[in-house]
Copies of this chain bind each other. A is one copy, B any other.
Amino acid sequence: MATGRTHRPATRSRGIPEATVARLPLYLRALTALSERSVPTVSSEELATAAGVNSAKLRKDFSYLGSYGTRGVGYDVEYLVYQISRELGLTQDWPVAIVGIGNLGAALANYGGFASRGFRVAALIDADPAMAGTPVAGIAVQHTDDLDRIISDNGVSIGVITTPPGAAQQVCDRLVAAGVTSILNFAPTVLSVPEGVDVRKVDLSIELQILAFHEQRKAGEDAAAEDEGAPPIRATPASRKGPDGDMPAVMPA
């Protein structure tokens, strides 16, 4: 039974803030584009606009990595690409395992941007025996029974969960038990992991709901101010699937 520990563990390992780490990939992408255009140097102002951030923020971010700029000139593109890549750990190979080869899992396996920077889809795992052996994106799907061995054999430390929500926690536990210490979770579930395991979640539904909130705010400037002050009596928002009609209808406040 996993105790609800979902904190990101030891984010601030030493120095370099989490917010900066989250922006480094943005900088790296912009720098790579410049590198492909053979641009030798770039100023903080140019790079900041390319990455969509403030220039002061960018300079402060880079200051955590070291003094890699030249005053009056800017930053050397190639050198900075290498430094950020090294800092992010992209100079080494990261075998990744995707668990749950449904629509989304298959799409991720086929996603080109996946393997772009050091990440390599090392294994596809699914619980459906009928899928075992089926090639997806040129890789044969393997069965969940062999999960432990697959993770070990390939030295996978990063797992991607694209299973239905009901199976996510179980898959997560098995991945962690097999040695995975970083998990990218696409299932709409709160995963409980032991200390030392990182979990990042990608949740379409949440993103849409946040957008809907702002959208409502934008549209609500004129109309839709109907019952703002007086909350409606209806304690049943819709026909919820309750076993009996025993819904509270307390209506506090």
Q: Which residue numbers of A lie inside 8 Å of B, CB to CB?
A: 4, 6, 10-11, 13, 21-22, 24-26, 28-30, 35-36, 38, 40-41, 49-52, 66-70, 76-79, 81-83, 85, 87-92, 94, 96, 102-104, 106-108, 110-111, 113-114, 116-119, 157-158, 181-184, 188, 190, 192, 196, 198, 200, 202-219, 231-232, 234-237, 240-244, 246-253
Contacts of A91 in B (CB 8 A): 237
Contacts of A30 in B (CB 8 A): 190
What is the CA–CA distance of A235 and B75 in the complex, to the nearest angstrom?
A: 13
The answer to whether B103 and A110 have CB atoms under 8 Å apart is yes
A157 CB to closest chain B CB (Å) equals: 6
Q: Which residue in chain B gives the minimum CB-CB distance to A205?
A: B113
Give how many copies assemble into the complex.
Answer: 2
Q: Which residue in chain B gives the minimum CB-CB distance to A70?
A: B252
